């Protein structure tokens, strides 16, 4: 079964509203989680590294005020897309390292559609 | 910064045949991990195989094996006895071992594999 769960799997929101995506490690503690965005037929683009108890580290070009990341516990990281616009529509996927870090698990991903 | 290159955007193979997907990477580090991930239409990222850079022996997982050439910075994936279920996007990925469990994955651009019945 899945060891990293992502919710919701699909969400549609109106332009201008905010939407939150959750990423949970189900049976292990993850001090670090990663958020990726994937455009159609493209590779995964790292958006930010989520650190438990501290601020996320954003990749260059990613708007930190638009993509809010909170890692409030060792098993939960959230990505909030604020004031969403149609161009934010995409597939978002999270991952977490288990144990020594050799094994990385991915969530099932979330499809966001902004209308 | 590390980069991962997959020079084959698309590959196809006859069912039951063998196919090799190419991957090269660039790094100045000596200790790192390399991965192949499979992404079927469901978009779930599935780990196919991983290789620790300090290990000379090539990793093998059933029908999947790698050819790891550290000096050449090459990490190809061989799929033997291809099956219809192998059809997917395959991503090569690099991860530094410097900070243990807190290092990100750097992905290649992917290779779309089609299996011909």
Res. A110 pLDDT band, cuts 50 70 90: very high
Res. A2 pLDDT band, cuts 50 70 90: low
Spatial separation of the C-alpha atoms in residues B73 and B92, rounded to whole Å: 12
Contact B50 A102 (CB under 8 A): yes
Contact A46 B35 (CB under 8 A): no
Residue A33 near residue A77, CB atoms below 8 Å: yes
Mean pLDDT throughout B32-52?
94
Mean pLDDT throughout A13-37?
93
pLDDT above 60 for A101: no
Q: Is B108 within 8 Å of chain A by CB?
A: yes
Q: What is the pLDDT of residues B78-102, one digit of tens each?
A: 999 999 999 999 999 999 887 655 6
Handedness of CA A35, A36, A37, A38 (dihedral sign): negative
Kindly provide the residue ranges of all beta strands, DSSP E only, lying in chain A, ordered along the sequence.
4-7, 10-13, 19-25, 32-38, 44-51, 57-58, 67-73, 76-81, 90-98, 103-106, 110-114
Residues of B in contact with A102 (CB under 8 A): 33, 50, 52
Q: Which of A32, A50, A99, A104 to mutate to test the interface with B (most CBs of B within 10 A)?
A: A104
pLDDT above 70 for B65: yes
Contact A97 B102 (CB under 8 A): yes
Residues of A in contact with B113 (CB under 8 A): none
> How many CB atoms neighbour CB A2 within 10 A?
13
Residues of B in contact with A38 (CB under 8 A): 43
Q: Which of A25, A56, A102 to mutate to test the interface with B (most CBs of B within 10 A)?
A: A102
Q: What is the pLDDT of residues B11-39, one digit of tens each?
A: 999 999 999 999 999 999 888 999 999 99
Contact B45 A106 (CB under 8 A): yes
* Phi, psi torsion values for B84, nearest 5 degrees: -55, -35
Output the pLDDT for position A99: 66
Q: What is the pLDDT of residues A67-87, one digit of tens each?
A: 999 988 889 999 999 999 999
- Nearest Cα residue to A62 out of A77, A75, A51, A50: A50
Q: What is the pLDDT of residues A26-37, one digit of tens each?
A: 988 888 899 999
Give the pair of three-digit tokens for residue A21.
């995506």
How would you class B30 by CB atoms within 10 Å of its CB: exposed for 0-12, middle for 13-18, buried for 19 or more?
exposed
Mean pLDDT throughout B1-14?
94
Residue A111 near residue A8, CB atoms below 8 Å: no
pLDDT above 70 for A15: yes
- CA closest to B92 among chain A residues: A43
Mean pLDDT throughout A42-49?
93
Residue A22 near residue A78, CB atoms below 8 Å: yes
Residue B98 near residue B9, CB atoms below 8 Å: no
Q: In what order do the strands lie in the sheet with A19-25?
A: A4-7, A19-25, A76-81, A67-73
Residues of A in contact with B45 (CB under 8 A): 44, 93, 95, 106, 109
Q: Mean pLDDT over all residues of chain A?
A: 91
């Amino acid at each position: 079964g899945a060891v990293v769960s992502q919710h919701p799997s699909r969400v549609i929101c109106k332009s201008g509203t905010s939407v939150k995506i959750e990423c949970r490690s189900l049976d292990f503690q993850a001090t670090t989680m990663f958020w990726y965005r994937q455009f159609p037929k493209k590779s995964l683009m790292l958006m930010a590294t989520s650190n438990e108890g501290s601020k996320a580290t954003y990749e260059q070009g990613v708007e930190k005020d638009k993509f809010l990341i909170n890692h409030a516990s060792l098993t939960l990281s959230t990505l909030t897309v604020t004031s969403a616009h149609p161009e934010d529509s995409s597939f978002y996927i999270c991952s977490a390292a288990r144990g020594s870090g050799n094994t990385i698990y991915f969530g099932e991903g979330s499809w966001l559609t902004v209308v | 910064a590390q980069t991962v290159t997959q020079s084959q955007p698309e590959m196809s193979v006859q069912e039951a045949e063998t196919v090799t997907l190419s991957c090269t990477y660039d790094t100045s580090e000596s200790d790192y991990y390399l991965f192949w991930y499979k992404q079927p239409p469901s978009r779930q990222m599935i780990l196919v195989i991983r290789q620790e850079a300090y290990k000379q022996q090539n990793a093998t997982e059933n029908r999947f094996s790698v050819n790891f050439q550290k000096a050449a910075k090459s990490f190809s994936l061989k799929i033997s006895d291809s099956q219809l279920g192998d059809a997917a996007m395959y991503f090569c990925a690099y991860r530094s071992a410097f900070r243990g469990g807190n290092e990100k994955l750097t992905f290649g651009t992917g290779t779309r594999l089609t299996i011909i019945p």
